[in-house]
Chains A and B, each alone.
Chain A
């Protein structure tokens, strides 16, 4: 079973919202997941794993705080909030290194670093417990599999893309992960009632004439 990237994005957005993130963060999750899948990285797995950890029910303890030049949180950092922060503060990356401690599902941070790279119009290296990833915003080069959790991540301006990953127009998800996303997405749909069926979309004059 394969999906269009539009379907990936729509499913990810609903899933993140269903898991309790705000609409704005859900939009970020959706674009991030699409970006990963476009470059052949399993965005749906990363997002499914993150949403299963239920950070959204107490997001404050997963939101980044800058302490002594390092970004950390009381518990593991949420990659969506941290990524959005990184992208928003892209200008801080120019000539500097940002260090992140204890990041959940760090794969999801890559698209945000890519967004920062596009803003700055340069290459960024993302080091994830020693595993290097380089992005220029549009493409990415990954040296080894990115772990499910990173103790230490570094993001800095340097690097060159020599072996960018192939781009893909379709995504072939692991069906278990996809099912998890759909279960979260389902939470955004209102249960059907007779009243809503009658009034919510239609009513009025006949539709069979």
Chain B
């Protein structure tokens, strides 16, 4: 990724990659959902519902096709009648209200039959190279029955209830990239529409939202007959798809340092490009002001019962007022207004507010920002290969660059290594436990790069700085993964989290939020220190309404006049 200008440097990795900041990231123009809707609108995708065979109990299947310029993708959805006591968002659940796959092409009747025997089983079934994703969703108990009851009676659902939940169903896992037999990423990575990360998964969720809207309407119509009414399109549009996310996402960002770097670096490069602008035109300033007002609505609608998030939201609301005051002063008229704003926010706002600013200043500048989409995938296959010729001295420098803060820590202090990440034999659920209280240390996953870097750094001390690292690795294969990561950091300066991921106080929800913010999620609602709920595609136009005009800013709620 080329630095566009040298007038304003990208923010330093040591500043950006702290967990608390990563846990305050917000969606932006480069979020994967927005990349998808922009592309579909720009390329004139068409959408159709080719099957909807669902009975009065809500059992059956449906197929939604999305046709782009070169190929068609189909969401195949199965709806089930799930007893309430079986409903759980955990990985260890074995049945769901609805299950899905994104099919590469248009499925035949035989495909549907095959999928009907496998998709409802999720991890216990098998899918093929024709399928790009595997996912499931559960109904929101708070909203589902209410919406059907109201529509069946001829009334619209209660807006307060809609606002307090935000979705009718929440997905509890969306698998892609070769999982459970699905097509590998390689199959689609070179397609224009799939080049950016997670586009298949985002498309699957986008179509799932449409299915859920149609399903609730279908059931209301069957129950209410002539008395039933159609869900107000304005309410429907506000409804997103919820998602429950657990610990699986945290290992992902540690295990894919180059990919994660590319996301962060694209956003940081975008921020630096916008900060380097000498003036903002009145239309650019107006758009920023307009979206700031709309962001305020989004913040006000953001609910959480988690004490930490409640406090963060309280601060963010104060930040929103301060931001409005800043804009109304004379700073936006001066030179380098966005750089001034970022500097001012660093001294004035909470990290939630600072990162909101970082995302929001990108909005008027699609022409400077959107091209960075193409840098966000991980195409650097050779990053895995260790350069054995590099000297131990150079490797130590790389380790010091990413983990200087960790080298003098006492890694034997129980506070510093209280936790261990492991995979349970129960459906391979990723978990985090107490190293000194549970028998898990033998199963520890390599998710403590800082500790491992400190150990490797010490082991390297007895080697001469000019010796090739290959000599070190020949006698220390146990440090191979750390040396690989250190070398990756040359290309991926934002690939390492600059905090202790196994400390007694680590909050995995910060890692989950970092990843989900790049998906484009909003309304992060931690449910404990290790799982959270979010909303996806809330405000997005449904397929039949998608146009170039509404494909981008849907994430910001409309200000009502």
Chain A residues within 8 Å of B, Cβ to Cβ: 1-7, 21-25, 27-28, 31, 59, 63-64, 81, 84-85, 87-91, 115, 118-119, 169-170, 186, 188-193, 195-197, 199-205, 207-209
For the complex, what is the distance from the CA of A85 to the CA of B388, rounded to whole Å? 8
- Check if A84 sits within 8 Å of B422, measured CB to CB: no
B283 proximity list for chain A (CB < 8 A): none
Chain B residues within 8 Å of A, Cβ to Cβ: 84, 87-92, 126, 129, 138, 140-142, 177-187, 244, 246-247, 305, 382, 384-389, 422-426, 428-433, 438-440, 443, 446, 468-470, 473-474, 477-484, 526-531
Question: Please, which residue of chain B has its CB at the minimum distance from the CB of A9?
Answer: B178
- Check if A24 sits within 8 Å of B477, measured CB to CB: yes
- Check if A196 sits within 8 Å of B424, measured CB to CB: yes
Minimum C-beta distance from B19 to chain A (A): 19
Minimum C-beta distance from A186 to chain B (A): 7
B182 proximity list for chain A (CB < 8 A): 4
Decide yes or no: A5 and B186 within 8 Å by CB, A22-B477, A207-B244 being known contacts. yes
Contact partner, B443, options A21, A25, A89, A188, Cβ 8 Å: A188
A2 proximity list for chain B (CB < 8 A): 181
Minimum C-beta distance from A167 to chain B (A): 10
- Check if A88 sits within 8 Å of B424, measured CB to CB: no
Contact partner, B129, options A91, A169, A186, Cβ 8 Å: A169
For the complex, what is the distance from the CA of A23 to the CA of B184, rounded to whole Å? 23
The residue in A63, A87, A190, A204 that gathers the most chain B C-beta atoms within 10 A of its C-beta is A190
Contact partner, A188, options B142, B183, B423, B432, Cβ 8 Å: B423
A208 proximity list for chain B (CB < 8 A): 84, 87-89, 138, 141
- Check if B433 sits within 8 Å of A200, measured CB to CB: yes
- Check if B422 sits within 8 Å of A190, measured CB to CB: yes
Q: List 28 A-B contacts (CB under 8 A).
A: A1-B126, A7-B178, A7-B181, A21-B477, A22-B479, A22-B480, A22-B481, A24-B479, A24-B482, A27-B480, A63-B477, A84-B473, A87-B386, A91-B388, A91-B389, A186-B425, A188-B423, A189-B423, A189-B425, A190-B431, A199-B433, A200-B431, A200-B433, A202-B246, A203-B528, A204-B527, A208-B84, A209-B142
Minimum C-beta distance from A130 to chain B (A): 28
B184 proximity list for chain A (CB < 8 A): 4-6, 169
Question: Please, which residue of chain B has its CB at the minimum distance from the CB of A6?
Answer: B178
Minimum C-beta distance from A36 to chain B (A): 15
B246 proximity list for chain A (CB < 8 A): 201-202
Decide yes or no: A202 and B473 within 8 Å by CB, A5-B178, A6-B185, A188-B423 being known contacts. no
Minimum C-beta distance from B437 to chain A (A): 9
For the complex, what is the distance from the CA of A208 to the CA of B144, rounded to whole Å? 12
Decide yes or no: A204 and B129 within 8 Å by CB, A28-B480, A87-B386, A196-B438 being known contacts. no
B247 proximity list for chain A (CB < 8 A): 201
Minimum C-beta distance from B484 to chain A (A): 6
Minimum C-beta distance from B278 to chain A (A): 44
- Check if A24 sits within 8 Å of B481, measured CB to CB: yes
Minimum C-beta distance from A78 to chain B (A): 10
A59 proximity list for chain B (CB < 8 A): 477
- Check if A209 sits within 8 Å of B140, measured CB to CB: yes
